[in-house]
Structure 1
Amino acid sequence: MVDVMERNFIEITKADLQRMRGSPPNDRRARILKEKASLKALSDERAQRWPNTIKALHEKRVQAKKEELEKLEHERLELDAREAKLKAEKRREMIERANKILLLPHMTGLLLKRQRENTDKEREAHIQYKKHIQEGWKRQEEKWFQLQKDQLEKWDKQEEQKLQKQKEQVKALANARLGQLQECQERLMEKRRKKEEEKAYLKRLEGEDLLLQEEKDKARQEEIKERNRDMIKGNEAQKAKKEEERQRLLKLDKEIEEFARKKEKMMDDRKKAEAMKVALKTQQREVISEKLYKQLLATIVDTERKLELEQNHKRDLDDERERLRIEKNKKSWEECDRSRRMQMKCKHEREMQDAADEKYEAEKLWECAWQCKMEFEAAERERFLKNKAFAEHHKKAMGVHRSKEIEDIEHDKEDERRALQRMEDEEMNGLTLDDVRL
């Protein structure tokens, strides 16, 4: 039987297969394929009724192997995803550190700019405060100047009122004098009129008695004397009034001169007081300016010292943070390297174990296949011997049929063996490719 199997075994190359495909149809080959398909359908029907066949067991083992490989692949994918996530996180941290390193001068410049802005704001606030103080002093000076101006205007109005009153008094005196002069002129006119009347009367009475004329002359002379006495008395009274008015005017001039001297003295005192006040204000302003300058200088020095301390503290913190980061990175790299080595070691051990398991499974499979083959051949041999008597009259036909059947069986076994070998090779190649991909 073994010789028959060896005789009926034909190895077909790819070129022969291509040549055969281009050859004319062969009824024998179609018949053989048809019988093979029917036998395969019968075998599949038997396998469905009895799943404990070599192919079913092989499919179960292959399915279990596939599930195990899928599980390992899933675990490896999870591990790769975790490693990719860790790598992305590390890359993000590295990018952030690089960005921080790149942005450090810019941030330092911004910090210094902000501090300079704060200093400028403080200086501007001091300048505004100084301007506010100066405006306050200016408003105070304007207020004092306005008060002084109002007081001077008030005094000037009072002086003008006094002068107006004095002018009115002088005008009233001049009017009184004018009235007296008019009265004197009227008296003189009256006297002249009387003289003319007397002359006319004398002319009329020229021819009268001399005695009467003398009496009249005496009476007239007495009257003239009386009138002269009245005029002398009036002149003396008028001279007394003139003297009194002159004395009053002299006294008024003295009072005016005294008031002018007092006013000049008061203006001098006021100017001196104003000069002293301005000097005092100037001194106070200088003292305040000096104090503000000292405060501003102290503030600038304090701000610069604080800024220097903050910069030193920030530099120390940055150095400490950089040292901790380097130590953390070093520790992380060491842990990653240790973990990677452990993973590589576990992977190598797992590959060795998988290879050993596969080799053991292949050996068991080949042993089981060989046993099944030998049992099948023994069963066939026994069946052939048992049916030998029954098949005597059909020896020739049955021999041909049996030889075909044995040839087909051998072909099926060889195909199955090749399929198993190809599947194992594919599994080995697939595992190696998975390992290479991992």
Structure 2
Amino acid sequence: MNFNINNFTALERFLRYVGIDTQSDPASDTIPSTEKQKNLGKLLVTELLAMGVTDAHLDQFGYVYATIPANTDKPNVPVICFCSHMDTSPDCSGAGVKPIIHQNYQGQDLVLPDDNAQVLHMHEHPDLKNQLGNDIVTASGTTLLGADNKAGVAEIMDACYQLINNPEIKHGTVKILFTPDEEIGRGVDKVDIEKLGAYACYTIDGESAGNMENETFSADGAKLIIKGVSSHPGFAKGKMESAIKIAGIITAMLPFELSPENTDGMEGFVHPVAIQGQVEEAVIEFIIRDFDDEQLAKHADVIRKIAEEVLEDFPNSSYELQVKPQYRNMRSVLDQHPQIVEYGMEAIRRADMDAKMCSIRGGTDGSRLSFMGLPCPNIFAGEHAFHGKQEWVSVQDMHKAVQTILHLCAVWEERS
């Protein structure tokens, strides 16, 4: 079936959503990490209720749940869920976003007016080659845009609107989930899997149109605690062993070939993300990533071996390495449910795109949902250059994402 949708609402919704600051905060211990994320959640609930989605609600933890009831006579269509996250990255401000629509893009440099140093060049953003004639949305140069992941939120919301207003699209029960705090790794900490009651889920949080991701990094966080020896600096000779300097030496000895700035494809990395301390104690925090769990463990050993080597020159100092799992490669779960990925690829093809299976050098809510009993690959949302001031999305790619969601609902109904 071809869905001839002429009244897409994704753009108008997206422009509305990016005006709400939903930046998450890794230093916070509240759930959600910032109360302002609920401002978007409340708006989404209001819009869903206005569509006629009667059970839409925001829970105490900042999650939005909603249900589109089945409209098919088939009794055994599996319940599927669509998920996107509402928060934006702590890496760049999401306050006061001023979106700009660059209509009918023809390959020119896009200069962002509030900071002329922010220029989108096609050679730096290669997917712009596929956008000739399309409409590109950016921020104004001083903030991120928020396409990660408000593009996905807007696309799911538009798909809900289309399902309700186009009853000829037959589908089973569809669940909607919008999460907080994905950008700080806590996006599904308080998800109620039983409430969702879904067989499969799809995050709408990927990059280029046509892409589907069935594989993510496996991820650990690591904390290296260095215990030095403090002494009065005027009388420190032969006594002081500065934990700050030890931390600096260890950081400098990390192999460049294992750094994120020197890896791509299927290569993992070890990345120091924060250092703090005094002479007596210093702490280095790392993120460790790889597609292979065995390699992940070996990367932690690299940190351990460097620390031991460095501390040979500091006999009165010591270290402790704490490694905490964050998420795991969802492919090991998805390979047990091949139809979930297969139906996603079919939906992309039905939306007139070349479907491409990809691995993502990162993680999504789907990584953890998959290991919580809800298999969850990731479908494109059209977002690009996320977490920075040059973030952008194509309006036409957003429409393709909406069509993909609609086709995916239909595929599950047809094949049940």
Question: Structure 2 length normalisation: TM-score?
Answer: 0.20
> Looking at CA atoms only, which structure, 1 or 2, has the larger radius of gyration?
1
* Structure of greater relative contact order (alpha carbons < 8 Å, 6+ residues apart): 1
> Which structure carries more strand by proportion?
2
> Which structure carries more helix by proportion?
1
